[in-house]
Chains A and B, each alone.
Chain A
Amino acid sequence: MGEGEILLHIQDLDITFEPGAHAVRFLELDIRKSEIHGLVGESGSGKSVTSTAVIGLLPSPPAKISSGKIIFKGRDLLKLGKEEMRKIRGREIAMVFQEPSKYFNPSMKVGEQIREMLSLHFGMSRKSAVERVLELFNLTGLGKSNFGGGRRILNSYPHELSGGMKQRAMIAMGIACSPSLLIADEPTTALDVTLQMQILDLIHDLQNRLKMSILFISHDLNVVKHIANRVSVIYAGKIVESAAKGTIFKNPMHPYTKLLLLSIPDPEKRGTPLKTIPGTVPDAESIPSGCAFHTRCPYVRKICEKEIPALKEYENGHTTACHFAGETE
């Protein structure tokens, strides 16, 4: 399956929420070393549930992981004890959230919120941890003088920083312990368009320098196109297609991916009505039988209502879950 060593292997992951919502259905996903893996799906498709399961923070109850494995560096994260998993969080797998203004503690200085994890994971002294925080601020562009310099950010409360600065600080927090995997859950969605680009470039640049893998979750194909090396498309809790970025944008195989690509506004098709996908994402409580997409699929046939298509590899590293993959045009 393609090139590059696999860092995170999710196999048959199945997550239900009481009572009876099937949020993630036998999901399979591989994240290779040093890649930016875009996970694309509409809201409610199970993107965030998957990433929350990876970092071990699904609230249980109501969430229940009924089957599956999450293999990270040879260990199944689902079998780890609480304390073992805690040591991985922030250290090996870190997370950047969507709305930095909500995800920072409002009454604690930004520097302290990053420093504490360094002291905890590495046992660093206060002084060297602060040095490291300043270094992180330089890496994320917060050391620049137009932001008042890293020292100022260090002693600022979250509300004293702008949205873009807060997101940079959030990213600094994410990479603080040089994790092997950074999960970025819609990190640019809450930002202005001009800031979005800056943050995307920052993430891209950091990946180049630090060589970590990034699981980049987004509902926005344009954003993913800009940043990812590989793209997986999730629909109703299941991966329907996964391929290198170039492949998936040039040669999509799953009808859902095709329709998603058509619904991106294209400046060359100015004046023609924008294509949309009829219908809505099914509720996790009432997933259609067979292929979950069959209710909205223009190529639907009898078998689609009955049998769940398996995720199969067609070309090198290009997998898709459709009974008629390659046949539909």
Chain B
Amino acid sequence: MPLIIFIIKRFFRLILTVLLVSTIIFFVIRVIPGDPAAVIAGIDATQADVAAIRAQLGTDKPISVQYIHWLRSVALFDFGNSMITGEPVTKQILKRFPITLTLATLGILMGMLIAIPLGVISAVKRWSPVDYFGMLLSQIGMAVPSFWLGIILLLLFAVKIHIFPLFGSGGIKYYILPSLSLGLARAAVILRLTRASMVEELSKEYIITARAKGLTERLVKYKHALKNALIPVITVSGIQFGYMLGGAIIIEQVFSLPGLGRLFLTGIYQRDFTLIQGGVVFIAFVFSLINFLVDILYSVLNPKIRVG
């Protein structure tokens, strides 16, 4: 299948996913007991007040009309106004998104930069000290919760030695510690996967061919095996990145970063239905978009995948 057809197919899948998620979140919110209008109006409100708010929210209209209206707002990327602050939800999300994006990008980059080289060396030099070090690191990385790591990093590099700021947001230096705590947890997973994948590729028959051709070990390992070994690594890293873009609630909390995670958390506390609704669709969209991009990258790396 030519690449362009593959891309178009995957793009339709992306649209379909977002549509499905929008539909599900729409009905789930309507099924949950409690009238958002009553929540907004408060306990002391009169029937008339509640009715007025309903009319304002559009929840007095038939469900089919509301659904069409909702799909329209999803398509236009306009999720209405927050029930609490009255600010447009889209604007609020887009204001916070750069923070989360920076955090996630730096996090996954740090994770991959640590994990992939170490995983490859571990696989090539199996049962060597480097390998044991890598395995130990990965074990620790998986066992240690990232918020704890975040706190330790803060204590070390912000309190004891004043290299990085304690909290807040601004320049890149505000992101180093939080992305490191996020990235190390991802690194643990990516490292194991890289090692396993590389070991598997090195045991395949085409490696024998490469050696029988008289290629140098460097070419055998880093030209032939590595490219194939990286295919699953890219996929998993991409999915991890997608998750991180949905907001890292705990890490944002620890480092007081006003990212998406904290925005949505506040929304949930305050029962801000429009914010939650818009937030879920936004996360679904970003996640699907990353998946879409990973799929394309994957098909470039592994042309066989385009057949299916």
87-123 of chain A: CB within 8 A of chain B: 87-91, 94-95, 97, 99, 102-108, 113, 116-117, 120-121
B contact residues around A86 at 8 Å (CB): 214-216
Q: Which residues of A are found within 8 Å of B208, using beta-carbon distances?
A: 57, 97, 103
Asked if B212 is an interface residue, CB under 8 A from chain A, the answer is: yes
Contacts of B213 in A (CB 8 A): 89-90, 94, 116-117, 120, 173
B44 contacts the other chain (Cβ, under 8 Å)? Answer: no
Total count of chain A residues near the partner, CB < 8 A: 27
**How many angstroms from the CA of A113 to the CA of B303 in the assembled complex?**
15
Closest chain A CB from B149 CB (angstroms): 36
Q: Contacts A99-B205, A157-B303, A159-B304; is A105 near B214 (CB within 8 Å)?
A: no
Tell yes or no: A55 within 8 A of B by CB.
Answer: yes
Q: How far is the CB of A164 from chain B (nearest CB, A)?
A: 18
A172-198 contacts to B, CB under 8 A, are: 173
- Asked if B214 and A103 make an inter-chain contact with CB atoms under 8 angstroms apart, the answer reads no
Known A107-B301, A116-B219: A102·B212 in contact at CB below 8 Å:
no
B214 lies within 8 A of A107 (CB):
no
Q: Closest residue of chain B to A90, judged by CB?
A: B214
CA distance A95 to B215 in the complex (A): 13
Bound: A107/B204 CA distance, A: 13
Contact of A94 among B206, B212, B224, B304 (CB under 8 A): B212
B209 touches A103 (CB 8 A): yes
**CB proximity of B78 to chain A, nearest CB, Å:** 43
B212 and A90 contact, CB distance less than 8 A: yes
B197: shortest Cβ distance to chain A, in Å? 13
Contact of A120 among B205, B206, B219, B301 (CB under 8 A): B219
- Closest partner residue, chain B, to A104 (CB atom): B206
B293 CB to closest chain A CB (Å) equals: 19
Residue of B209, B214, B223 near A88 (CB, 8 A) is: B214
What is the CB-to-nearest-CB distance from A326 to chain B, in angstroms, rounded to a whole number?
40
Chain B interface residue count, CB cutoff 8 Å, equals 23
Given A86-B216, A120-B216, A121-B214, answer yes or no on A105-B301 (Cβ-Cβ < 8 Å): no
Taken together as a complex, chains A and B put the C-alpha atoms of A97 and B231 apart, in Å, by: 26
| CB pair B304 A106 closer than 8 Å | yes
- Nearest CB in chain B: distance from A187 CB, A: 13
B275-288: CB near A (< 8 Å → 1, else 0) gives: 00000000000000
Min C-beta distance of A134 to chain B, whole Å: 18
Known: A86-B214, A117-B214. A105 touches B209 (CB 8 A): yes
B204 to nearest A CB, angstroms? 7
Chain A residues whose C-beta falls within 8 Å of the C-beta of B303 in the assembled complex: 107, 157, 159
For the complex, is B294 an interface residue (Cβ under 8 Å from A)?
Answer: no
Chain A residue nearest in CB terms to B225:
A105
Mask for A6-28, Cβ within 8 A of B = 1, else 0?
A: 00000000000000000000000
Instruction: Give the interface centre of B211, B214, B215, B227 by most chain A CB atoms within 10 Å.
Output: B214
B8 at the interface (CB under 8 A from A): no
A166 to B152, CA, bound (A): 57
Closest to A106 in B: B304
Distance of A51 from chain B, by nearest CB (Å): 10
Closest to B304 in A: A159
B212 is contacted by which of A55, A106, A121 (Cβ under 8 Å)? A55
Q: In the complex, what residues of A have CB within 8 A of residue B212's CB? A: 55, 57, 89-90, 94-95, 97
Contact partners of B209 in chain A: CB under 8 A: 95, 97, 103-105, 113, 173
With beta carbons under 8 angstroms apart, the residue of A103, A107, A117 that contacts B215 is A117
Do A106 and B216 form a contact, CB below 8 Å, given A57-B211, A159-B303, A159-B307? Answer: no
State which of B206, B223, B228, B307 has its C-beta within 8 Å of the C-beta of A103. Answer: B206
B139 at the interface (CB under 8 A from A): no
Task: With CB as the reference atom, state the residue of chain A lying closest to B223.
Answer: A116
12 contacts between A and B (CB under 8 A): A88-B214, A90-B213, A90-B215, A97-B208, A99-B205, A102-B205, A103-B206, A107-B231, A117-B213, A120-B214, A159-B303, A159-B307
B binding-site residues for A, Cβ under 8 Å: 204-206, 208-216, 219, 223-224, 227-228, 231, 301-304, 307
**9 residue pairs, one from A and one from B, having the closest CB atoms:** A90-B214, A89-B214, A90-B213, A102-B205, A95-B212, A117-B213, A105-B206, A103-B209, A157-B303
